[in-house]
Amino acid sequence: MGKVKRIERVAALTKELVDHPYELYSFTDFCERFDVAKSTLSEDVQAIKNGLVAYDLGTIETLAGAAGGVRFIPYHSRASDSEFLKALAERMAEPERILPGGMIYMNDLLLSPKILMRLGEIMMNRNKGLAPEYIMTVETKGIPLALFVARAYNVPLVMARRESRITEGSAVSINYVSGSTKRIQTMSLPKRALPADARVLIIDDFMKAGGTAKGLQELALEVGAEVVGTGFLIATSEPESKMVDEYFSLFVLNGIDDKTRKTDIRPNC
Amino acid sequence: MGKVKRIERVAALTKELVDHPYELYSFTDFCERFDVAKSTLSEDVQAIKNGLVAYDLGTIETLAGAAGGVRFIPYHSRASDSEFLKALAERMAEPERILPGGMIYMNDLLLSPKILMRLGEIMMNRNKGLAPEYIMTVETKGIPLALFVARAYNVPLVMARRESRITEGSAVSINYVSGSTKRIQTMSLPKRALPADARVLIIDDFMKAGGTAKGLQELALEVGAEVVGTGFLIATSEPESKMVDEYFSLFVLNGIDDKTRKTDIRPNC
């Protein structure tokens, strides 16, 4: 490789850092890989931090000591996040999305990697203190969001199934009562998916009464994990009393009027 | 905002570009947003390109003209990709992954955002010419990989379901014969998920006989889309004759020996 200019190295360093939020890169490794002295690297990292902060694109954290290093934490300002969520709520409320039975079609929005990436970062930023070691969800519609929340925290995803699969080995199963339909359902998790005492954040796309979320919490406890939080893209305002006590959601759905084709959905800002 | 140094601006520009592969940013928008002249921006973009290329982290494409702009294309060298796939194959072959019935437990690997991101980029890079407008998969295990392939191409994902859901509106359903079990199964796709003539790349985690993949192809055709390719993380070498004619896979699984606990899985390099 020929001589690389400082500004070129900074571009490469930025790419490495922002690609993997929360991943701690040791100064020593970076010095070797980018062939620079530690003092120069420190200056580069400071410049990257300044640039990201100036344009509201995240920040860089530096951890001192032997186990230290440097990592990227994505964030946008509260105002910019609110604006993003407000615009998304407007799209979700488009009358042509209303399906028979008062449901909303949202696949085109919630399967877009660009939208998912931002949603994952917002969820992470609003709940940084939870410090989960795993994100947990249940098939199927919660998976895309949960995966991008996992990306934002830089932790793996675990996925409960509606039935256990032979490709996943021995499993723990629980029965739970769906809050809306009152039917008894089954959900299972491979035994080896979560180590005991793992800190787990439960993520799903939608909560009405909270039966599925309650089931996920019980399943996590059953394998000895600790549930540090439960979050949804959308929670309905009715019923007011949910089967889970503490949760957060990015949006509140107040109602869908089939006749007037009006959807009342608002971001939690 | 105070005066931002060039090197800081380059860090911010890099972040914006690499966050969204294939997203075309217009020069005019970038000039406004980063408050620079077009000539300066061009130099910045060139520096970013040089830096990324020098460290094997991707490249920047510049498109001239009124509809032009600048975009990031992720890639790593063929050698680096092969090394990554080889290391992953070694992990997949770990004896403790073998489950009763000759299956392999891989959830911990295939639900890791970091691994998924690289796999998505490799799949995209090896099949750039396909230029898909949508990635299509079927629930459940193919979703995470398909989502990161979608991210690498910067296109949305569409998801077929094993049964149609009221939350997705009217759907097109097909019956197909599972290649392995020879059972008749159903798969459906919301009618509005794919526009007619859309270029669709089918992605799934695993192919043995190819029955599910064949079903996905038929479902795509049924809604009037064009299937431009079919790709898998892993395809088995047996049976040699598959129900789909053309496909690609990142790995070939030659066999799992339950007794010796040896898995023969190799990357396609």
Q: Do B168 and A107 touch (CB under 8 A)?
A: yes
* Element holding B63 (H helix, E strand): strand B59-63
HEC string for chain A: CCCCCHHHHHHHHHHHHHHCCCCCECHHHHHHHHCCCHHHHHHHHHHHHHHHHHCCCCEEEEECCCCCEEEEECCCCHHHHHHHHHHHHHHHCCHHHEECCCEECCHHHHCCHHHHHHHHHHHHHHCHHHCCCEEEEECCCCHHHHHHHHHHHCCCEEEEECCCCHHHCCEEEEEEECCCCCCEEEEEEECCCCCCCCEEEEEEEEECCCHHHHHHHHHHHHCCCEEEEEEEEEEECCCCCCCCCCCEEEEEEEEEECCCCEEEEEECC
**Which residues fall within 8 angstroms of residue A135, CB to CB, at 6 or more apart?**
A146, A147, A149, A150, A153, A155, A156, A157, A158, A200, A201, A202, A203
* Element holding B263 (H helix, E strand): strand B262-267
**Which residues fall within 8 angstroms of residue B245, CB to CB, at 6 or more apart?**
none
Within 10 angstroms of residue B198's Cβ, the number of other Cβ atoms is 20
Q: Do A140 and B150 touch (CB under 8 A)?
A: no
Within 10 angstroms of residue B101's Cβ, the number of other Cβ atoms is 10
Average pLDDT, chain A: 93
The closest of A218, A265, A47, A132 to B12, measured between CA atoms, is: A47
Spatial distance between the Cα atoms of A60 and A102, rounded to a whole number of angstroms:
44
Spatial distance between the Cα atoms of A183 and A77, rounded to a whole number of angstroms:
42
Q: Could you tell me if B36 and B1 are in contact, meaning their C-beta atoms sit under 8 angstroms apart?
A: no
Check pLDDT > 80 for residue B38. Answer: yes
- Contact B96/A at CB under 8 A: no
Tell me: cis bond preceding B144? Omega within 30 of 0 counts.
no
The closest of A30, A36, A44, A43 to A3, measured between CA atoms, is: A36
Mean pLDDT computed over B164-170 = 75
- Contact A4/B at CB under 8 A: yes
Q: Which two tokens stand for residue A179?
A: 């809050």
Amino acid at A222: E
Check pLDDT > 80 for residue B2. Answer: no
The chain A residue lying nearest B194, using CA atoms, is A108
Spatial distance between the Cα atoms of A209 and A244, rounded to a whole number of angstroms:
8
Check pLDDT > 60 for residue B184. Answer: yes
- Domains present along chain A, CATH in parentheses: 6-73 (1.10.10.10), 78-267 (3.40.50.2020)
Q: Do A104 and B167 touch (CB under 8 A)?
A: yes
Strands B59-63 and A157-160, sheet pairing? unpaired
pLDDT digit string (tens) for B80-115? 999 999 999 999 999 999 988 788 999 999 999 999
Mean pLDDT computed over B239-259 = 94
Task: Look at residue A101 in the predicted model and tell me its pLDDT.
Answer: 79
Task: Look at residue B1 in the predicted model and tell me its pLDDT.
Answer: 56
Check pLDDT > 70 for residue A200. Answer: yes
Check pLDDT > 60 for residue A21. Answer: yes
Q: Do B18 and A15 touch (CB under 8 A)?
A: yes
Evaluate whether ipTM surpasses 0.90: yes
Q: Do B18 and A19 touch (CB under 8 A)?
A: yes
Q: What is the pTM of this model?
A: 0.95
- Contact B25/A at CB under 8 A: no
Q: How far is CA A184 from CA A187, A189, A262, B161, B166, in A?
A: 10, 17, 32, 22, 19
Task: Look at residue B102 in the predicted model and tell me its pLDDT.
Answer: 80
**Placement of tokens 């699969």 in the chain:** A165
Using pLDDT thresholds of 50, 70 and 90, give the confidence band for residue A39: very high
Least confident stretch, A244-253, B40-49, B184-193: B184-193
Q: Could you tell me if A140 and B186 are in contact, meaning their C-beta atoms sit under 8 angstroms apart?
A: no
The closest of B80, B85, B36, B34 to B56, measured between CA atoms, is: B80
Check pLDDT > 80 for residue A165. Answer: no
At residue A261, what are phi and psi to the nearest 5 degrees? Answer: 55, 45
Mean pLDDT computed over B117-135 = 96
Spatial distance between the Cα atoms of B210 and B23, rounded to a whole number of angstroms:
33
Check pLDDT > 80 for residue B161. Answer: yes
Q: Which of B51, B139, B158 faces A140 most closely, judged by CB atoms? A: B139
Rounded CA Rg of chain B: 21
Question: By three-state DSSP, how is residue B194 classified?
Answer: coil
Cβ contacts of B8 on chain A, cutoff 8 Å: 47-48, 50-51, 54
Least confident stretch, B16-20, B116-120, B258-262: B258-262
Of the two residues B65 and A226, the one the predictor is more confident about is: A226
Cβ contacts of A99 on chain B, cutoff 8 Å: 166-169
Spatial distance between the Cα atoms of B156 and A107, rounded to a whole number of angstroms:
9
Q: Do B99 and A166 touch (CB under 8 A)?
A: yes
- Contact B190/A at CB under 8 A: yes
Give the distance, in angstroms, between the CA of residue B121 and the centroid of all CA atoms in the same chain: 6
* Element holding B155 (H helix, E strand): none
Task: Look at residue A2 in the predicted model and tell me its pLDDT.
Answer: 65
Q: Cα dihedral sign for B101, B207, B139, A20?
A: positive
The closest of A134, A122, A81, A140 to A233, measured between CA atoms, is: A122
Task: Look at residue A120 in the predicted model and tell me its pLDDT.
Answer: 98
pLDDT digit string (tens) for A58-112? 999 999 887 889 999 999 999 999 999 999 999 999 999 998 877 899 999 999 9
Task: Look at residue B163 in the predicted model and tell me its pLDDT.
Answer: 77
Check pLDDT > 60 for residue A204. Answer: yes
pLDDT digit string (tens) for A105-145? 999 999 999 999 999 999 999 999 999 999 999 999 999 99
Check pLDDT > 90 for residue B182. Answer: no
Mean pLDDT computed over A216-243 = 96
Mean pLDDT computed over A145-163 = 95
Question: Would you call B162 exposed, middle or buried from its count of C-beta atoms within 10 A (0-12, 13-18, 19+)?
Answer: middle
Average pLDDT, chain B: 93
Check pLDDT > 80 for residue B154. Answer: yes
Strands A262-267 and A248-257, sheet pairing? antiparallel
